[in-house]
Amino acid sequence: MEFAPLNEQALRQLFTEAHTAHAFLSRPIAESTVRQLYEMACLGPTAFNAQPARFVFIRTEAGKERLIPALSPGNVPQVQSAPLTVIVAYDLDFHQHLPRVFKGYDAKPIYENAPELAESVAFRNGTLQGAYLLMAARALGLSAGPMSGFDVGKVDQAFFHEGRIRTNFLMNVGYPDPAGMFPRNERLGFAEAVTLA
Ligand SMILES: Cc1cc2nc3c(=O)[nH]c(=O)nc-3n(C[C@H](O)[C@H](O)[C@H](O)COP(=O)(O)O)c2cc1C
């Protein structure tokens, strides 16, 4: 199927006016929207359709209390104000699902007994899935604030006891408080970041 380019309003919402949010209004996110976030993000492509990302959707005070001791001080108020904070993690055992999610051929043996390969694939594709979740949030009229200022070991200890799931980054999601929007910083120009070959 071929689609027409998105209209100007949609491009503003997703890219040109979309911004990282650092503070959020107390307005909650509808339950249906919380589910839709995942249902949309999981459709983004991953190698072998392996979908290694695992998400913890933190919406309760109790959940926030488990997370806050792991945060850099500057990130604490951001998490406190967000109606939803997502732990974007990746499953080192993602290949267990390959026979179900990838029907092309039996790809599971590629990752069995190859933990370094499995980790790099899980990290790469799990990171992409976190980005898909961020864009899904924008598409649904929400704003996102990704964060890497936290202690990975502490988050893993608080949320993932078995060791096979590892935290990648965190992301606040909600309706932005204008007070928490910083001016957009400069982006690298086309010629600086792109090589034409
Ligand atoms: C992976 C990642 C980690 C980040 N970590 C933090 C963080 O710990 N704390 C914070 O306040 N902002 C954090 N940011 C926000 C970035 O500084 C921000 O997205 C970037 O400057 C672009 O801002 P803009 O969307 O307003 O243009 C992070 C962003 C990403 C993508």
Question: Can you tell me the distance from the alpha carbon of 43 to that of 55, in angstroms, rounded to the nearest whole number?
Answer: 15
Residue 139 domain-assigned (yes or no): yes
If you measure from the C-alpha of residue 184 to the centroid of ligand 1, how many angstroms do you get, rounded to a whole number?
11
Residue 9 domain-assigned (yes or no): no
Give tens-digit pLDDT for 31-82. 999 999 999 999 999 999 999 999 999 999 999 999 999 999 999 999 999 9
Domain harbouring 84, CATH code: 3.40.109.10
Q: What is the pLDDT of residue 162?
A: 85
Residue 179 domain-assigned (yes or no): no
E strand map for the chain: 53-58, 84-91, 143-147, 165-174
Cβ contact 160:166 at 8 Å: yes
Q: What is the pLDDT of residue 175?
A: 98
Res. 90: pLDDT tops 90: yes
Give tens-digit pLDDT for 135-162. 999 999 999 999 999 999 999 999 998 8
If you measure from the C-alpha of residue 145 to the centroid of ligand 1, how many angstroms do you get, rounded to a whole number?
6
If you measure from the C-alpha of residue 42 to the centroid of ligand 1, how many angstroms do you get, rounded to a whole number?
22
Q: What is the pLDDT of residue 62?
A: 98
Number of domains making up the chain: 1
Cβ contact 56:159 at 8 Å: yes
Residue 1 domain-assigned (yes or no): no
Cβ contact 154:71 at 8 Å: no
Closest CA to 147 of 58, 20, 57: 20
Residue 6 domain-assigned (yes or no): no
Identify the DSSP state of 150.
B
Tokens at 186, concatenated: 């400069």
CA terminus-to-terminus distance, the chain:
29
Residue 122 domain-assigned (yes or no): yes
Residue 189 domain-assigned (yes or no): no
Burial 49-58 (b: 16+ CB within 10 A, else e): ebbbbbbbbb
> Which ligand 1 atom sits nearest the alpha carbon of residue 184?
27
For ligand 1, whether the C-beta of 14 sits within 6 Å is no
What is the extent of the structural domain holding 145? 20-174
For ligand 1, whether the C-beta of 185 sits within 6 Å is yes
> Which ligand 1 atom sits nearest the alpha carbon of residue 145?
15
Residue 185 domain-assigned (yes or no): no
